[in-house]
Amino acid sequence: MIIIPAIDLKDGRCVRLAQGDFQRVTVYGEDPAQVARMWKNKGASRLHLVDLDGSLAGEPRNGDAVAAVVKATGLPVQVGGGIRSMDTIASYLEAGVSWVILGSALLKNESLVRDACRRYPDRIILGIDARDGRVSVEGWTEQSDTTIVDLADRYRQEALHAIVYTDIHRDGMEHGVNVDATRALAEATGLPVIASGGVSGLRDIERLLESGGPGILGVIVGRALYTGALSLEEAIAETVKADAAAAEKEG
């Protein structure tokens, strides 16, 4: 399981929101590339970037910051927020982004999602954000009646890389990751799932490792890393220990 530090971008800065509320913003860095280098130096092997301004505008607003992170770290980067066209997808991938996350398009432009998966196999991630099991879109400002499993099922036959599942109620709150819903989504769809939202400390990493199984590819961690509630080095060490235990058991 991969530990993936989150870098949320607003007005060119590194921030965190509480429960997706744009009025509840905490700034953690003026230079996202510098923040990204810090996480790389602490052992990160992958980064999660979200263009918060873009998610509301419907098109990228922090593309320069994304490109700077890619250039500064050389790490695999996954990016979401405001990606609503094939041109935007192509632009990010050409800039060195490893995976593009499609969110609102999953409900509003199904043909784009399918075309992107076929044109760029294993480069597309489904970004499914939900409140009480129902999907939210447009930067979490619109609520739908669609369930997370029903939405994922629409695309399970496509050449996807993974699903990022975010529990909005927990995002940025450090109230504990929604392990049960994450595991259930992986089991129901058979797709790799990256957990997101609510990681509060090392115990959440342990719980995901204990109950997630092979269906949980990774976990995105934001506020807990920035506040010091979770050490990236300790979280990574926990995954290494779990991998070693699994290998010994298989052997």
- Ranges 139-148, 195-204, 216-225: which has the least confidence: 139-148
pLDDT at 170 over 80: no
For residues 34 and 64, is the Cβ–Cβ distance under 8 A? Answer: no
pTM value > 0.85: yes
CA dist 106 and 149 (Å) reads 13
CA dist 19 and 12 (Å) reads 20
Per-residue pLDDT band at 138 (split at 50, 70, 90): low
Q: Residue 96 CA to chain centroid, in angstroms? A: 17
Buried b (16+ CB within 10 A) or exposed e, 132-167: eeebbbebbeeeeebbbbebbeebeebebbbbbbbb
For residues 128 and 146, is the Cβ–Cβ distance under 8 A? Answer: no
Residues paired with 241 in a beta bridge? none
Name the most confidently modeled range: 34-38, 137-141, 164-168: 34-38
Number of H helices, E strands in the chain: 11, 12
Structure confidence by residue, pLDDT tens digits, 40-81: 999 999 999 999 999 889 899 999 999 999 999 999 999 999
Quick one: pLDDT at residue 30?
94
Quick one: pLDDT at residue 175?
65
- Amino acid 164 reads V
* Number of other CB atoms surrounding residue 48 within 10 Å: 25
Quick one: pLDDT at residue 178?
87
DSSP state of 128: E
CA dist 47 and 74 (Å) reads 10
- Which contiguous run of DSSP H or E holds residue 47? strand 47-51
CA dist 204 and 194 (Å) reads 14
- Number of folded domains that form the chain: 1
pLDDT at 143 over 80: no
What is the extent of the structural domain holding 49? 2-250
Structure confidence by residue, pLDDT tens digits, 233-243: 999 999 999 98
Structure confidence by residue, pLDDT tens digits, 7-29: 999 999 999 777 667 777 888 88
- By annotation, the residues acting in catalysis are 8, 129
CA dist 183 and 178 (Å) reads 9
Region label for 241, one of left (φ > 0), alpha (ψ between -120 and 50) or beta (otherwise): alpha
CATH number of the domain within which 217 lies: 3.20.20.70
